[in-house]
Amino acid sequence: MTAPKLPAELHSEYPFEPKSILIDEFRYSYVDQGTGPVLLFVHGNPTWSFAWRNLIQELSPDYRCVAVDHLGMGLSEKPRDYGYTISQHIANLRTFVETLDLQEITLIGHDWGGCIGMGAAGKMPDRFRRFVMMNTAAFRSSRIPLRIAACRIPVLGALGVRGLNLFSRAALSMAVEDPSHMPPVVQKGYLFPYDSWEHRQAVHRFVQEIPMRPSHPTWETLVAVEAGLEQFRDSPLLLFWGERDWCFTTAFLKEWQNRFPHAETETYADAGHYVFEEAHEQIVPRLRKFLESMN
């Protein structure tokens, strides 16, 4: 299956030629821009590599910026008969890193991308050098916002997320504090891959994969990811956080800081969950400073 073709109006926002590899016989799409030290960008739900476009364009003159699309997401293949579990996403990312033989990686993760990225790093620590996390978690939590819990209701959740695309559409306004950061062309970019019931399966599965009790199939996956964090306790870590995030609140930020006492932190009082949309102009120079200090 070939990658979907981007509409012409998105080319200025996403001026990349995606590449792909096969994982489990399915096309796994990614962006690979620039040369130099590797920055591996891992997105969450319901985004895709489009979310990283501003950072990639700014940083690729000096770094090799690699941004994946999880299977079922973005421009990757969206197979109907696939589990879309967090453990599969972690395994796929590991395969991707090994296939491209990425080394000395700086991992940049957001939302589920933090968990998936840290899950992969925990299994192959020799390939990862430093970490940048944005409004994410890689540990268990008892917190789940009501508006996300509603998407997990049997039948109704599927109708809302897959039928009406409510999860992806709601994020366009709920994930930012200032709607001016989400003009129509950017909104179209975020929604483009999720244009049908079939193409929204992974979006819904991510919601279902949130483990709230030990009996949930993903609970043990999160236990393993959480346990793997300890080996990176003294590794360089930079935290960017939108304080207006109603999902990954500052309580999650404090948990990162407790687990990584040497972490550097940059918070943005007027930014929401999509901190890379609302604060990328501040993030880029701070991220450059972090990266240069580690060279």
Return the CATH fold of 8-293. Answer: Rossmann fold (3.40.50)
pLDDT digits (tens, 9 = 90+) for 187-241: 999 999 999 999 999 999 999 988 888 888 999 999 999 999 999 999 999 999 9
Task: Give domain limits for the chain.
Answer: 8-293
pLDDT digits (tens, 9 = 90+) for 53-84: 999 999 999 999 999 999 999 999 999 999 99
| pTM beyond 0.85, yes or no | yes
CA–CA dist 29, 49 (Å, integer): 9
166-174 and 184-191 helices, crossing angle to 10°: 140
The strand pairing partners of 32, in sequence order, are: 66
Report DSSP state, residue 251. Answer: H
Q: Specify the residue for token string 């300890």.
A: 230
Q: Specify the residue for token string 């994982």.
A: 23
Residue 162 near residue 200, CB atoms below 8 Å: yes
CA–CA dist 90, 267 (Å, integer): 28
Quote the tokens at residue 29: 């799409």
Residue 149's pLDDT is 56
Tell me the chain's radius of gyration from C-alpha atoms.
17
Residue 150's pLDDT is 60
Report DSSP state, residue 288. Answer: H
Residue 183's pLDDT is 96
Helix (H) or strand (E) holding 201: helix 201-208
Residue ranges in the chain whose pLDDT is less than 50: 155
Residue 153's pLDDT is 63
